[in-house]
């Protein structure tokens, strides 16, 4: 699929931290599957060191965005720029775009155009890690082994691709000890150190979810993409997840991009929320802005103009939920006389 070039944005001087110092910039992203437009001209930023949530009703296109960012899909159009180091680094991104290149070191760190990179380079070089909606641990391996496997690449390099490992060179032994130390550190953070020697499949569901995050963190990502990490968790497990993500934000250089349906989790921990509906961005701001945005409320109620016209009781629900003024702002047309002052449907509507 052809990937159209896009101009670098000029968003310096905005008041949002995610615009001034983005770890990731998605610009004019479009993904088509045959005639279906799953993502349509989507642009947003993920702030450095922040938790950014991507939300929206089922089928809105959230997982497709993740698949484009992590290299599972090649976008039809658009640019996805990952930055190691602070600031916009616009010159470097312009040079890469113009030169048809994938990545470039910069005095600040480096920039990477993910839409041009294969998935293994996105994880190894651009330092983007992800978890999936359905858990993908190695169930037959122990909890500790799952975290060591995640560090396999670094250990392979340290072993000189096998030989050094077999003869036990000091460099390999040091790298091996560091890998174990890192695994133990993350097992402590996710409170699974007591289960280190148990098969991963034996863990309760919520523990497996946290182990997946620990495994991703063992690769030292600068961007961690989590696809519905709270799915299937009970309230206690959800709260442990919140704590873990907040711990990562506070103590590590990892920016987090999160798809989540659990609005309790999203509103409590997100610095920045982007809302998609039918592949289009309908809202973008902090939790307070998004939760009061009439377009978001309307999207979550799952209504459009046609339904409102055909089913006046839906109109009443929307007006009750967000008020008439907000309905107008959302661009929804409520037929006059459909709703009385109490938000009830009129008999002659």
Ligand X SMILES: Nc1ncnc2c1ncn2[C@@H]1O[C@H](COP(=O)(O)OP(=O)(O)OP(=O)(O)O)[C@@H](O)[C@H]1O
User: Which residues contact ligand X by CB under 6 A?
Assistant: 33, 36, 38, 56, 58-64
Pick the closer one to ligand X by CB: 229 or 312.
Answer: 229
State in angstroms the smallest separation of the CB of 141 from ligand X: 28
Sheet with 22-33: list strands edge to edge.
36-47, 22-33, 77-84, 110-113, 103-104
- For 273, the token pair is 């929320």
CB of 57 to ligand X, least distance (A): 7
Report the residue number, 53 or 60, with the smaller CB distance to ligand X. Answer: 60
Residue number, 70 or 88, with CB nearest to ligand X: 70
Which residue, 60 or 183, is less far from ligand X as judged by CB?
60
The bridge status of strand 280-285 relative to strand 110-113 is unpaired
Least distance CB 119 / ligand X (angstroms): 15
d(CA 154, CA 151) in angstroms, rounded, equals 6
CA dihedral 230, 234, 235, 240 (to 10 degrees): -60
Between CA 338 and CA 72 the distance in angstroms is: 47
Say which DSSP state 194 is in: G
Q: Of the two residues 58 and 251, which places its CB atom closer to ligand X in the complex?
A: 58
**Dihedral-angle region of residue 195 (phi above 0 means left; psi in -120 to 50 means alpha; beta otherwise):** alpha
Tokens of 287: 């939790």
* Buried/exposed 165-180: b ≥16 CB within 10 Å, e otherwise: beeeeeebeebbeebe
Least distance to ligand X, CB of residue 120, Å? 20
CB of 160 to ligand X, least distance (A): 40
Q: Whole-number minimum distance, CB 56 to ligand X, in Å?
A: 6
Nearer to ligand X (CB atom), residue 15 or residue 58: 58
Strands 77-84 and 128-131 come out as unpaired
CB-based burial of residue 104 (10 Å sphere; 0-12 exposed, 13-18 middle, 19+ buried)? middle
């Amino acid at each position: 699929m052809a990937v159209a070039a896009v101009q670098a944005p000029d968003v310096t001087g905005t008041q949002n931290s995610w615009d001034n110092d983005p770890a990731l910039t998605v610009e004019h992203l479009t993904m088509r599957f045959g005639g279906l437009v799953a993502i349509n001209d989507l642009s947003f930023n993920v702030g450095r060191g922040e938790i950014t949530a991507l939300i929206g009703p089922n089928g809105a296109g959230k997982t497709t965005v993740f698949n484009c960012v992590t290299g599972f899909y090649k976008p039809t159009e658009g640019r996805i720029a990952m930055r190691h180091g602070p600031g916009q680094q616009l010159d470097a991104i312009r040079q890469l775009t113009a030169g048809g290149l994938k990545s470039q070191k910069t005095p600040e760190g480096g920039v990477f155009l993910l839409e041009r990179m294969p998935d293994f380079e996105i994880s190894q070089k651009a330092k983007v890690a992800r978890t999936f909606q359905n858990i993908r641990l190695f169930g037959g391996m122990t909890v500790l082994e799952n975290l060591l496997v995640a560090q396999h690449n670094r250990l392979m390099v340290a072993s000189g691709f096998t030989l050094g490992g077999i003869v036990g060179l000091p460099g390999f032994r040091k790298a091996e000890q560091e890998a174990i130390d890192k695994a133990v550190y993350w097992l402590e953070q996710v409170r699974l150190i007591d289960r280190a020697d148990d098969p991963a499949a034996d863990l309760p569901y919520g523990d497996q979810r946290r182990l997946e995050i620990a495994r991703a963190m063992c690769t030292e990502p600068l961007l961690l993409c989590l696809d519905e990490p709270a799915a299937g968790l009970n309230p206690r497990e959800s709260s442990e997840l919140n704590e873990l993500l907040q711990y990562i934000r506070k103590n590590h250089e990892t920016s987090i991009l999160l798809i989540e349906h659990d609005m309790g989790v999203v509103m409590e921990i997100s610095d920045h929320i982007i809302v998609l509906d039918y592949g289009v961005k309908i809202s973008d701001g902090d939790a307070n802005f998004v939760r009061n945005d009439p377009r978001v409320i309307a999207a979550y109620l799952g209504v459009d103009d046609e339904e409102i016209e055909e089913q006046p009781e839906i109109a009443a629900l929307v007006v009750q939920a967000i008020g008439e003024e907000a309905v107008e702002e959302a661009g929804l047309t409520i037929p006059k006389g459909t709703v009385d002052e109490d938000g009830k449907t009129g008999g002659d509507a």
